[in-house]
Chain A
Amino acid sequence: MTTLDDLHAKLDGNERLAADLKRVNGDPGAVAALFPAAGRKYGREPLTDGWSTDEAARALLLAAVPPEQVGDIYRYGDTAEKLAVLKALPLLPIGPSAVPLLEDALRTNDTRLVEAALGPYSDHLDQEAWRQAVLKCVFMGVALNKINRLSERADPELGAMLRAFADERHAAGRDMPPDALALLDQLKEA
């Protein structure tokens, strides 16, 4: 998995970012204006391994502030900022303290936020919340292959929930997404 060191190395030549990171180290409050402007200031082009420049820069800004500020940055973030925070969570030394941010993202109806909440950091979500999140993905049409450790974590209870959902869809003359049917099959075989 990509680490903060990898991102640092890739962004080594970005002088504006280097100066701003130094500034944030001395004055963590400065992040409130810098974090939203990341795309405009540092660029948006693809950087490395699924990370764009602004996402990577935002991860480094998050790593530069005290962990207790992460929640506030998420709270006041627009969608792109919230997505960047969710993406950076597994890289930050914060343990499970940011689970409430996942819960917030999972309460939205924005498919991008729901999907982003089910990345590697979702290992910290309890099984009950995680099952509801997977079911919500099926409901909203989020591709299940985006969910971290799906086949490992899928359990008979999730199977029962998916089965019931498939029955409802069938009764309404509607199809289940193929990836959800495949997951149901996998759970049947287990």
Chain B
Amino acid sequence: MRIFDPHIHMTSRTTDDYQRMADAGVRAVVEPAFWLGQPRTNPGSFTDYFDSIIGWEPFRASQFGIRHHATIALNPKEANDPRCRPVLDLLPRYLAKDGVVAVGEIGYDSMTPAEDEAFSAQLALALDHDLPALVHTPHRDKARGTQRSIDVIKESGIDPGRVALDHLNEVTVDAARDAGVWIGFSIYPDTKMSPDRMVEILRKHGTERVLVNSAADWGKSDPLLTVRTAEAMLAGGFSAEDVDQLLWQNPVAFYSQSGRLDLSDVDGAEATFAGNSILRGGS
């Protein structure tokens, strides 16, 4: 089984997680820029974070034979802080990077005017840089937030086939399906979506244009819930080919729209970089 986790915050995870993921078949990940538990207070805090998810984190992942790409954005929650908003002017530098395969996570947290502005501005950046967009749907007031996100996406002029609307559930999936965007589901231990509920959604909606991720981060989450979902699919009568489509081919197809996805070294490659392995414990 080969797994591509299209949404996971590895900067919050340990090397034990990387090892368990590699052992379970995870060969590629995309790390979207998002908020940390502690709010940031200035643009420099963002740029150091962006540097980390396009620099240090891919290097760390490579030690375990996992290919790491990133998406870059000012997240909706921190778009509300005027001290953070100037980072919008720095985004073009990062959206030009080889390892950046989408603009994201953008979207809504509390649906404020500041979030409206940052969301639209960053969809425009996606168009300018010929990148897909990864859109987070809010955890509170989710149904209205999802509908409003769809409206903003339509207004922006971006092709819905280049947008993934994430953290969907039973209540929000139909509107997203109708809008023609990729539908994303974050499988969580207790909250957003479970493997068994996911299997039911797949029965109804099929596996086309569906993305399943662990969205594992600094909260209670599990980077192997992609694998658990694959197992639940097989137990529920889906074929190995369905699993491969959902958990490998789909994320490859979505992020390949950036023209920058590079998976050349994850098909059976060993975990070394430039001839060096520091698995034995560098610093």
State the A residues within 8 Å of B (CB).
Answer: 32-33, 36-37, 39-40, 76, 78-80, 82, 108-112, 115, 139-143
A140 & B260 in contact (Cβ 8 Å cutoff): no
Contacts of B277 in A (CB 8 A): 141
Known: A36-B96, A112-B59, A143-B276. 6 other contacts (CB 8 A): A33-B96, A40-B98, A76-B94, A79-B54, A109-B282, A141-B277
Q: A36-B93, A40-B260 are in contact. Are A140 and B283 (CB under 8 A)?
A: yes
- Tell whether B55 is near chain A: CB-to-CB under 8 Å: yes
> What range describes how many residues of B lie at the interface?
20 to 34
A78 & B55 in contact (Cβ 8 Å cutoff): yes
A141 & B276 in contact (Cβ 8 Å cutoff): yes
B99 & A141 in contact (Cβ 8 Å cutoff): no
Nearest CB in chain A to that of B56: its residue = A110
B96 & A79 in contact (Cβ 8 Å cutoff): no
A78 to B92, CA, bound (A): 13
Interchain Cβ contacts under 8 Å between A and B, 26 examples: A32-B92, A33-B92, A36-B98, A37-B98, A40-B259, A76-B93, A76-B94, A78-B51, A78-B54, A79-B55, A79-B58, A79-B59, A108-B56, A109-B278, A109-B283, A110-B55, A110-B56, A111-B273, A111-B282, A112-B59, A139-B282, A139-B283, A140-B278, A141-B277, A142-B276, A143-B276
Contact bitstring B217-250, A, C-beta under 8 A = 1, else 0: 0000000000000000000000000000000000
Contacts of A36 in B (CB 8 A): 93, 96-98
A111 & B274 in contact (Cβ 8 Å cutoff): yes
Q: A139-B283, A140-B278 are in contact. Are A110 and B59 (CB under 8 A)?
A: yes
A32 to B90, CA, bound (A): 11
Nearest CB in chain A to that of B96: its residue = A36
Q: Which residues of B in the span 71-117 have a Cβ within 8 Å of any Cβ on A?
A: 92-94, 96-99
Q: Which residues of B in the span 265-283 have a Cβ within 8 Å of any Cβ on A?
A: 273-278, 280, 282-283
Contacts of B96 in A (CB 8 A): 32-33, 36-37
A70 to B92, CA, bound (A): 18
A82 to B51, CA, bound (A): 11
Contacts of B58 in A (CB 8 A): 79
Contacts of A108 in B (CB 8 A): 56
A71 to B240, CA, bound (A): 50
A139 to B259, CA, bound (A): 38
Contacts of A82 in B (CB 8 A): 55
Q: Which residues of B in the span 104-142 have a Cβ within 8 Å of any Cβ on A?
A: none
B92 & A112 in contact (Cβ 8 Å cutoff): no
B93 & A141 in contact (Cβ 8 Å cutoff): no
A140 & B97 in contact (Cβ 8 Å cutoff): no
B282 & A78 in contact (Cβ 8 Å cutoff): no
A109 to B274, CA, bound (A): 14
Contacts of A79 in B (CB 8 A): 54-55, 58-59
A74 to B111, CA, bound (A): 37
A111 & B276 in contact (Cβ 8 Å cutoff): yes
A82 to B55, CA, bound (A): 10
A76 to B282, CA, bound (A): 25
A71 to B221, CA, bound (A): 39
Nearest CB in chain B to that of A140: its residue = B282
Nearest CB in chain B to that of A79: its residue = B55
Contacts of A139 in B (CB 8 A): 282-283
Pick the residue among A33, A39, A76, A112 that contacts B274 (CB under 8 A): A112
A138 to chain B minimum Cβ distance, whole angstroms, is 11
Contacts of A37 in B (CB 8 A): 96, 98
Contacts of A40 in B (CB 8 A): 98, 259-260
B97 & A78 in contact (Cβ 8 Å cutoff): yes
A78 to B101, CA, bound (A): 14
Nearest CB in chain A to that of B70: its residue = A78
A83 to B51, CA, bound (A): 14
Contacts of A142 in B (CB 8 A): 276
Contacts of B280 in A (CB 8 A): 141
Contacts of A109 in B (CB 8 A): 56, 278, 282-283
Nearest CB in chain A to that of B92: its residue = A33
Contacts of B54 in A (CB 8 A): 78-79
Pick the residue among B97, B260, B273 that contacts A112 (CB under 8 A): B273
A112 to B51, CA, bound (A): 16
A170 to chain B minimum Cβ distance, whole angstroms, is 17
